């Protein structure tokens, strides 16, 4: 997901750790068109930045639509004999699973329409109903299938876009790497997608702030709520950061795969807490497409998914919030 609406209250980035047996390591940088911030406690004082950066590069070589030689770009270009790697297969399989359970509210084949609206990897088109109708013929998660180590398309015009799930997946891959190194306490944030394990060394939970859905850009952002996060992941999607105005009309990057138009409902932002960040990332986008009422109904009907949500929505010009029951004890709203 390519949103920036989560402001992080990581006091650890501005303080030091006095415990000799476990040092606090902080690394940060730019990746996948955004920034990342990672903190972890290491008994051996090992800095994993170079290895983390290599993970970003490896995933980009598979999933980035902005790299012509990536696996996804080669598939979109209809090259022959494109061999898939584990990253591609993992993300594709998860995406199809979320598409099925959300009845297509989440759909990675919406790429042609996203491109037409100017939010994808190609130049914006002049959009009208005729253009959208023509492109929708090639949108639908059943139009592309995994066949062993390759992909089968229903038509060459069908294309993929993993941007609504790739960052969450990347966070999970880094978390798995840290766990393989026996790191027990860490916080990973990439472009607003978060995964936290364990605690800070003072036994306090990691804390993350969720922004108010205001459209103004800037260094300082107002916090709507503070969430304590432990052994869980968080992703937030919203319609107030990535958009443009044209002829007095606002066009958001969140596209409804069924209509081909930017999703229009009263949901301003959807924050999802899940066991893994890829799941949280995908469902945050799906809920923004569904809208408030359908999203709440979905949560109630699918409790086995173990998702917690925090929604900010517009009720006739007044901002209101919805918090799932189990999340309330970890959430503090700011007046």
324 has a pLDDT exceeding 60: yes
pLDDT digits (tens, 9 = 90+) for 107-151: 999 999 998 877 777 667 788 899 999 999 999 999 999 999 999
Residue 153: the pLDDT is 96
Residue scoring higher pLDDT (14 or 109): 109
pLDDT digits (tens, 9 = 90+) for 153-164: 999 999 999 999
pLDDT digits (tens, 9 = 90+) for 254-287: 899 999 998 889 999 999 999 999 999 999 999 9
Residue 268: the pLDDT is 92
The two three-digit tokens of residue 133, written as one number: 């109708």
Ramachandran quadrant class, 92 (left: phi over 0; alpha: psi -120 to 50; beta: rest) = alpha
90 has a pLDDT exceeding 80: yes
Return d(Cα 191, Cα 200) in angstroms, integer: 21
Residue 252: the pLDDT is 61
Residue 212: the pLDDT is 86
- List, in sequence order, the alpha helices (H) in the chain: 49-63, 71-76, 86-101, 111-117, 129-136, 166-180, 277-290, 292-301
In three-state secondary structure terms, 12 is: helix
Contact 310, 303 (CB under 8 A): no
Residue scoring higher pLDDT (253 or 204): 204
Cβ-proximal residues to 228 (8 Å cutoff; 6+ apart), any chain: 205, 206, 207, 330, 331
Domains with residue ranges and CATH for the chain:
56-153 (1.10.3980.10)
Work out the percent of the chain whose per-residue pLDDT is above 70: 87
Mean of all residue pLDDT scores within the chain: 89
pLDDT digits (tens, 9 = 90+) for 200-229: 988 889 999 998 887 655 445 688 999 999
Average pLDDT on 289-306 reads: 97
Give the alpha-carbon dihedral of 266, 241, 308, 259, to 10 degrees: 50
């Amino acid at each position: 997901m390519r949103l920036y609406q989560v402001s992080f209250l990581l006091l650890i980035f501005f303080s030091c750790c006095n415990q000799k047996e476990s040092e606090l390591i902080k690394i940060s940088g730019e990746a996948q068109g955004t920034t990342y911030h990672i903190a972890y406690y290491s008994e051996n004082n090992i800095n994993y930045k170079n290895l983390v950066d290599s993970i970003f590069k490896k995933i980009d070589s598979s999933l980035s639509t902005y790299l012509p030689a990536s696996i996804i770009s080669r598939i979109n270009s209809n090259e022959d004999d494109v061999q898939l790697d584990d990253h591609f297969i993992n993300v594709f399989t998860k995406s199809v699973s979320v598409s099925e359970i959300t009845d297509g509210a989440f759909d990675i084949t919406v790429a042609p329409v996203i491109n037409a609206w100017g939010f994808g990897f190609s130049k914006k088109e002049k959009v009208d109903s005729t253009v959208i109708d023509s492109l929708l013929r090639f949108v639908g998660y059943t139009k592309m299938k995994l066949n062993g180590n390759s992909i089968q398309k229903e038509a060459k015009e069908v294309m993929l876009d993993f941007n609504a799930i790739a960052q969450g997946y990347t966070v999970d891959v880094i978390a798995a790497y840290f766990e393989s190194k026996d790191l027990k306490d860490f916080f990973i944030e990439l472009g607003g997608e978060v995964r936290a394990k364990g605690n800070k060394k003072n036994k306090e939970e990691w804390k993350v702030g969720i922004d108010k859905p205001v459209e103004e850009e800037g260094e300082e952002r107002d916090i709507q709520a503070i969430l304590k996060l432990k052994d869980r992941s968080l992703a937030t999607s919203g319609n107030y950061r990535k958009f443009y105005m044209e002829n007095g009309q606002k066009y958001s990057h969140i596209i409804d795969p069924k209509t081909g138009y930017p999703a229009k409902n009263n949901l301003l932002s959807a924050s999802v807490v899940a066991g893994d960040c890829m799941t949280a990332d995908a469902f945050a986008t799906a809920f923004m497409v569904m809208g408030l009422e359908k999203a709440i109904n979905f949560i109630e009907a699918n409790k086995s998914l173990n998702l917690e949500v925090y929604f900010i929505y517009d009720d006739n010009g007044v901002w209101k919030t919805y918090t799932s029951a189990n999340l309330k004890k970890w959430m503090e709203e700011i007046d």
